[in-house]
A = this chain, B = another copy of it.
Amino acid sequence: MTRKLHATDTILVSLAAALILFLVGVLPLAAQEVLPSWNDTAAKSRITAFVKATVTEGGEGYVAPQDRIAVFDNDGTLWCEQPYYIQLGFMLDRVKTLAPQHPEWKTKEPFKSILDGDLKGIAKGGEMGIVELGMATHAGMTTDQFNTIVSDWFAAAKHPKTGKLYTEMTYLPMRELLDYLRANGFATYIVSGGGVEFMRPVTEKLYGIPPQQVVGSTIATQYAIVGDVPVLKRMPKVDFVDDGPGKPVGIHKFIGRKPIFVAGNSDGDYEMLRWTTAAKGPGFAMIVHHTDGDREYAYDRQSSVGKLDKALDEAERRNWLVVDMKNDWKKVFAFDQ
């Protein structure tokens, strides 16, 4: 059990120890392919080049960790928004569930059309009809109760075309992008026109994004004591619409920092794209372009949901990356073959 130890042995042992420490620290990242569901096209290269620059200390693209804020639209950017917003799917199901308590809905729009299964009829009520629909399905309960209603709904509700759970309708390449950004020190946020309290119950599980990093539209809530227990009641009143010019407002209000990375897919993200890329210093904007009618849906300028027109026109001159879902993504959904 004895042998001679030479100085070179000591050095070798030290080197081995250093190597082990190095490998333990580096291997998990190096061994794993970056953005595996992305094809090796210019889109992927532009994203990885930007991220590498932000983490390269001393380089001109370097960004300190606390300023690595990335914001993502949700509908059509992280999950599917066709044939209608998932939150509209929730409203439709809620109307059916609540209908027995509302006999007047049998003759009142937009409820009548929903109960008759006439989706096109819903639009006839116009914007006021949609607001009324939202209030009827989203208000009148406590925040805790609403959280339970939403969580229960997501556990079972399925997409009308694919038959998959809505929670399976997230874009795999975008989830990889979120992971990749976080692995490089970015804080990832959702900035969506959707309701904050509709998204928060599922964002951590779906995207690794905790409730406090979800910015969205809000309904007014009111503090009340019910049987000596403090609750927040959801009131039938819109508090904030986080869409279009509301998105930079929401980012500033909730986050208080300018993002350096932004992803959207429609003209509702236009102002957020401008806001992020107008700042001095590094800034990266990308648009998810829905070009894949086989694996998902193909739509842009003419679509009523997720219309992409002005932002697409200006993308090139503003140096915004347009991601072509059909050509840039190996898979759209995790369940794709």
Contact = CB atoms under 8 A, between A and B. Distances in A.
Interface of A: 1-7, 66, 143, 187, 196-197, 200, 204, 210-212, 214, 218, 221-223, 225, 229-230, 232, 239, 245-246, 248-249, 252-257, 271, 274-275, 278
B212 A254 contact: yes
Given A221-B249, A245-B223, A211 B7 contact: no
Contacts of A4: 2-5
Contact of A232 (B5, B225, B252, B254): B252
A335 B291 CA distance: 64
Given A3-B5, A5-B3, A6-B1, A143 B212 contact: no
A249 B223 contact: yes
Contact of A211 (B229, B246, B255): B255
Contact of A256 (B211, B223, B225, B278): B211
Contacts of A2: 4-7
B252 A143 contact: yes
A257 B211 contact: yes
Given A196-B256, A221-B253, A239-B253, 12 more contacts: A1-B6, A2-B6, A3-B5, A197-B256, A200-B256, A210-B257, A212-B257, A221-B249, A223-B245, A223-B249, A230-B278, A232-B249
Contacts of A271: 223, 230
Contacts of A249: 221-223, 232
Contact of A5 (B5, B222, B246): B5
A228 to B, nearest CB: 9
Contacts of A221: 249, 252-253
Contacts of A252: 143, 221, 232
Nearest to A4: B2
A15 to B, nearest CB: 15
Nearest to A200: B256
A195 to B, nearest CB: 12
A57 to B, nearest CB: 21
Nearest to A3: B5
Count chain B CB atoms within 10 A of each CB in A7, A232, A257, A271 and give the residue with the most: A232
Contacts of A245: 222-223
Contacts of A7: 1-2
Given A223-B245, A249-B223, A255 B3 contact: no
A7 B1 CA distance: 6
Nearest to A213: B212
A77 to B, nearest CB: 20
A230 B279 CA distance: 9
B196 A230 contact: no
